[in-house]
Chains A and B, each alone.
Chain A
Amino acid sequence: GAGVSQTPSNKVTEKGKYVELRCDPISGHTALYWYRQSLGQGPEFLIYFQGTGAADDSGLPNDRFFAVRPEGSVSTLKIQRTERGDSAVYLCASSLGSNQPQHFGDGTRLSIL
């Protein structure tokens, strides 16, 4: 597709469950970013990849959160032992490289019951 694609668009699960959120970046974009947006707030940085490697994971809140990008394209954000406080919209963005505009997907709305 032409833009950043995120699946699923909505995810509802119970506290304690494991979830995976997927991001398909724009073709040819080497940089990929994950952000989390709580209601009424701006997005908060989680992690970004340059190619296959995590260039900066300083925004991951704790070790329940993990992200991979094994082939330098699609990325998966993984959350273990989910908690109600993890409920938010998880946004993915990609860019051609450093200092290039970031293009965002529509996000995955995660609700933990």
Chain B
Amino acid sequence: KQEVTQIPAALSVPEGENLVLNCSFTDSAIYNLQWFRQDPGKGLTSLLLIQSSQREQTSGRLNASLDKSSGRSTLYIAASQPGDSATYLCAVRGHNTDKLIFGTGTRLQVFP
């Protein structure tokens, strides 16, 4: 059974710092991995999707990497801003299924 873990559970940093959020999964036979952002009381916003054949994806200040063989992904946030404060979730999708398996998230607070 696939299990997804995110470390740290919470993170509080001053504005301007570069951050690394970690995601690990127990079954390396994934189809893709997706990073989401969730603001309080809101749904999930997709940030980056990495196919199993890819090593990384970039969007603006965000960079996500994938090491499928070791069951790890990292989300790198450059030059963090207070507006980045939210919960970040990673989710994996296995082969022959469309359902996503989520981690419990990292709650990020960036203070001015």
Q: Hey, which bits of chain A sit against chain B, CB under 8 A?
A: 4, 31, 33, 35, 40-45, 48, 50, 55-56, 58-59, 91, 93, 95, 98-99, 101-107, 109
- B43 and A102 form a contact (CB under 8 A): no
Count of inter-chain pairs, beta carbons less than 8 A? 63
Between A56, A99, A102, A106, the greatest number of chain B beta carbons within 10 A of the residue's beta carbon is seen for A102
Q: Are B4 and A104 in contact (CB under 8 A)?
A: no
B69 within 8 A of A: no
Report B's interface with A, CB cutoff 8 A.
4, 31-32, 34, 36, 41-46, 49, 89, 91, 93, 97-105
**Are A102 and B42 also in contact (CB < 8 A) when A42-B103, A42-B104, A45-B101 are?**
no
Query: What secondary structure prevails in chain B residues at the interface with A?
Result: strand
Question: Which residue of A has the minimal Cβ distance to B45?
Answer: A104
B31 — which chain A residues lie within 8 A by C-beta? 99
Contacting pair A43 B44 (CB below 8 A): yes
CA distance A56 to B34 in the complex (A): 20
CB distance from B72 to the nearest CB of A (A): 17
Residue of A nearest to B93 (CB): A99
The answer to whether B46 touches A103, judged by C-beta atoms less than 8 angstroms apart, is: yes
Q: How far is the CA of A103 from the CA of B95 in the complex (A)?
A: 20
Q: In the complex the two chains form, what is the Cα distance from A93 to B93 in whole Å? A: 15
Instruction: Evaluate whether A42 and B91 lie within 8 angstroms (CB atoms) in the complex, with A55-B98, A99-B32, A102-B100 already known.
Output: yes
Contacts of B4 in A (CB 8 A): 42
Assuming A93-B44, A107-B42, what are 16 further A-B pairs, CB within 8 angstroms? A41-B104, A42-B4, A42-B91, A44-B102, A45-B101, A55-B98, A56-B97, A59-B99, A98-B98, A101-B34, A102-B46, A103-B46, A104-B45, A104-B46, A106-B41, A106-B42
Instruction: Decide: B102 and A43 in contact? CB cutoff 8 A.
Output: yes
Q: Which residue of B lies closest to A43 (CB)?
A: B102
